[in-house]
Amino acid sequence: QIRDAPPPSYIQSLGLLGKLATTPAIFEPFRNAVTVNQIRSCMGKLFDIYAELERLAKREDRRIEEAQLPLLWVLTPTASPTLLDGFNFQPNLGTNWTEGVYFLGLYQKTALVAIHQLPRTEETLWLRILGKGRVQKQAIEELTALPEDHPLRESALELLYSLQANLEAKRELETEDRELIMALAPLYRQQMAAAIEQGRAEGIQQGRTEGIQQGRTEGIQQGRTEGIQQGRTEGQYSILENFLLVQFGELDPIFTAFFPIVSTFPATEFTLLLVQLSALSVDDNGRQQAKELLAQFVLKTRFGQLETSLTNLIPNLIALSPADLTLLLEQLPELSEAELLAKF
């Protein structure tokens, strides 16, 4: 059963990216300008998914509605007029889509975002951060100018720091990548300094505040924090469930056992998981790989870099009964690596 749509506030916080995700979708992001062959490959994979969904529906004696089929979104830092014209990509400005967003025919269910053409608005900031060169530099400058408590700033910085870490792991960096790392360094130091100062201020305030006032203040703050976190968690739960339902059809209890803990992932880890899941085939082998990927991300989030012993544990983990797996995942935050291994 498909859950309700994510809270509007969650979708709104993602701007244009959130709008792209309001219907079933497959995202294909490219670091460099997408090529003709890459678009053909993406579309081929999309139609393979459709064929598999049709086979599953026929086997289960049900009908797939057009609205249930995912839309392919190609995210590219630049797109030449030749490429756009060659595929006959067309803008759709009359239906509230912004400049830089292009569509193929209705039944081809393929769209392209040319990031360098997006207008410089807060709504497009998430996507422009994924651009290159001048576009990405401008997006970082706009991010820096946001208030420190702005929700978009924190989420976007998580994404950028993840990108920074991936770039720094490369042995040979392009000039643009070096410039990006240099641009992010002061932002990172600024955020760390703000966190230290906030901790210091909160410590002083806590020492001064006493009695009923302290309880009231902490209660209000805790309520706000829990409300924001709950909305974000519910949104990610719904996105993950709908994403896997579109890709694999009916989900067994092993899949759903992972949903509560995966829904609490930071935005960067959650997005990375979705990207990797979207690359899997939609057959039984892909379903098994998806379960292994969920288990891998859960263990990596809990223990950091996975040693061989934990990697070898993944098949045993997803072989548990749904009840045993659910119980183990509830206990996982309190278990050490040795305690977890001792259970198998």
What is the predicted pLDDT for the residue at 109?
A: 93
Q: For 164-180, what is the mean pLDDT?
A: 49
Could you give the C-alpha distances from 228 to 16, 39, 151, 237, 264, in angstroms and in order?
A: 20, 38, 10, 14, 12
Q: pLDDT tens-digit profile of 178-203?
A: 555 455 545 544 544 454 355 445 55
What is the predicted pLDDT for the residue at 5?
A: 46
Specify if 183 maps to a domain.
no
What is the predicted pLDDT for the residue at 4?
A: 42
Do the Cβ atoms of 184 and 140 come closer than 8 Å? yes
Q: Which residues pair with 102 in a beta bridge?
A: 91, 112
| 124, 4: one domain | yes
Which contiguous run of DSSP H or E holds residue 75? strand 71-76
Specify if 98 maps to a domain.
yes
Specify if 75 maps to a domain.
yes
Of 130, 159, 184, the position where a domain reaches its end is 130
Of 130, 157, 174, the position where a domain reaches its end is 130
Structural domain including 94 reads 1-130
Specify if 175 maps to a domain.
no
Look up residue 269 and give its two tokens: 């880890």
What is the predicted pLDDT for the residue at 81?
A: 95
What is the predicted pLDDT for the residue at 195?
A: 45
What is the predicted pLDDT for the residue at 231?
A: 47
* Residue 258 neighbours by CB distance under 10 Å: 23
Percent pLDDT > 70 in the chain is 69
Task: Tell me the three state secondary structure of residue 282.
Answer: coil
CB proximity list for 64: less than 8 A, separation 6 or greater: 53, 54, 57
Specify if 156 maps to a domain.
no
Q: For 282-296, what is the mean pLDDT?
A: 87
What is the predicted pLDDT for the residue at 228?
A: 37
What is the predicted pLDDT for the residue at 76?
A: 93
Specify if 124 maps to a domain.
yes
Say if strands 71-76 and 25-29 run parallel, antiparallel, or are unpaired.
parallel
Q: For 200-217, what is the mean pLDDT?
A: 51
Distance in angstroms (rounded) separating the CA atoms of residues 322 and 318: 9
User: Is 229's pLDDT higher than 80?
Assistant: no
Residue that has been written with the tokens 């392209």 in this structure: 112
Of 130, 159, 192, the position where a domain reaches its end is 130
Specify if 89 maps to a domain.
yes
Q: For 44-71, what is the mean pLDDT?
A: 87
Structural domain total, the chain: 2
Look up residue 43 and give its two tokens: 């579309």
Specify if 198 maps to a domain.
no
